[in-house]
Amino acid sequence: MQRYFIDQPYHTQAEYALSGEPFHHMIRVMRMTTGDQVGLVFLDQIAIIAAISRIDESDVYLIEIEKEQQNKELPIHVTIASGYPKGDKLDLIVQKSTELGAAAFIGFPAQTSVVKWDEKKLQKKQQRLHKIAQEAAEQSQRQVAPSVTLLATEKAFWDHLSTYDHILVAYEESAKQGEIAMLLQVLTEVKPGSKVLAIFGPEGGLTPTEIKWAESHKAVLCGLGPRILRTETAPLYFLSAVSVQLELTRK
C-alpha cells in the first residue's frame, strides 16, 4: 500500500484534502481512482488507512478507514553521522539506514573527506537526501520520515554532541583488536526513548585528533565485528545490531 507523509498533526475530520506532490503522485503517477486505499502518516506519528472519496482538478479527498496499530519505529532515536564520503555513497547510507530505522542523519566534512561542497551544493544535496529519506520511509512503512542535516564545517558537528544520551564511534582499530563487547554493552544499557548518535568516518576513517574530540564528549569507541566495513556498510551493520538487540531480543 502506498504511503504519504502529511505535514500537519492528526485530527479527526470528514475528509482529508491533499494537493501538490501527493496529488500528482496518487493521480498522475499511480493513477489511483475513487475507492483506492493509501496510508497517511501525520507529524505526530499517527498513521491511518484512508480511501479516496473524490478527486477534482487539483485535490484528492480521502476518508479515514482505520488507524494503524503496529508501532514500526525503533525504541530509541538513532542519528547516523557520516563524514562526507565520495560519490553517491551518502545517498545509499540515507536510503538503506532509513529502511532500517534511523531517525536522523548528519553529514559533516571529516578531516579525511575528499569531497568539498560549497553552501549551494550542500543545500541542493540536502534537498535530494531529504527526498530519498522520505521515499524510503514511505516504502518501508515508517511512521517517521528522518531529518537530514548537512554541515559546512566539522566544528559545527562537534559543538552540538551534548544533546545525545549516548555517543558511539565505529572505530576500525577496535575491530582490528578483536573488540566486540562495547557495542553490545551500550545497547544493553540504553533505555527506550534515548537519543543515540553513531559516528562513522569517510573512506579514510577518523583521524586520531577526531577520536580524541569524540572521547572528550564521552563517546564510546566500538568495533563492528571482526571485519573492516566500508563507510556505506558500517551504519547498516550498526542499525541491524540495534534492531536485533532492542526489537527482537528485548521484550
Runs of H (alpha helix) within the chain: 20-23, 89-99, 119-139, 154-158, 172-176, 181-189, 208-216, 234-243
How far is Cα 78 from Cα 164, in angstroms, rounded to an integer?
A: 10
72 falls within a domain: no
Question: Are residue 19 and residue 120 in the same domain, yes or no?
Answer: no
123 falls within a domain: yes
Domain end among 29, 45, 67: 67
Any idea what the CATH number is for the domain that residue 16 is in? 2.40.240.20
Question: Are residue 27 and residue 149 in the same domain, yes or no?
Answer: no
Any idea what the CATH number is for the domain that residue 130 is in? 3.40.1280.10
Question: Are residue 11 and residue 133 in the same domain, yes or no?
Answer: no
Structural domain count of the chain: 2
Task: Kindly calculate the radius of gyration of the chain based on its CA atoms and give it in whole angstroms.
Answer: 20
Question: Are residue 57 and residue 178 in the same domain, yes or no?
Answer: no
Tens place of pLDDT per residue across the chain (251 aa): 899 999 899 998 889 999 999 999 999 999 999 999 999 999 988 999 999 999 999 999 999 999 988 888 999 999 999 999 999 999 999 999 999 999 999 999 999 999 888 889 999 999 999 999 999 999 999 999 999 999 999 999 998 898 999 999 998 776 555 556 789 889 999 999 999 999 999 999 999 999 999 999 999 999 898 888 999 999 999 999 999 999 988 65
Question: Are residue 237 and residue 135 in the same domain, yes or no?
Answer: yes
Structural domain span for residue 53: 3-67
Q: For residue 125, give the C-alpha cell.
A: 544535496
Question: Are residue 215 and residue 95 in the same domain, yes or no?
Answer: yes
Question: Are residue 106 and residue 181 in the same domain, yes or no?
Answer: yes
**Cα dist from 219 to 52, 156, 182, 206, 238, whole Å:** 49, 17, 11, 13, 15
Question: Are residue 94 and residue 205 in the same domain, yes or no?
Answer: yes
Domain end among 25, 45, 67: 67
Domain end among 67, 96, 119: 67
**What global pTM score does this model have?**
0.89
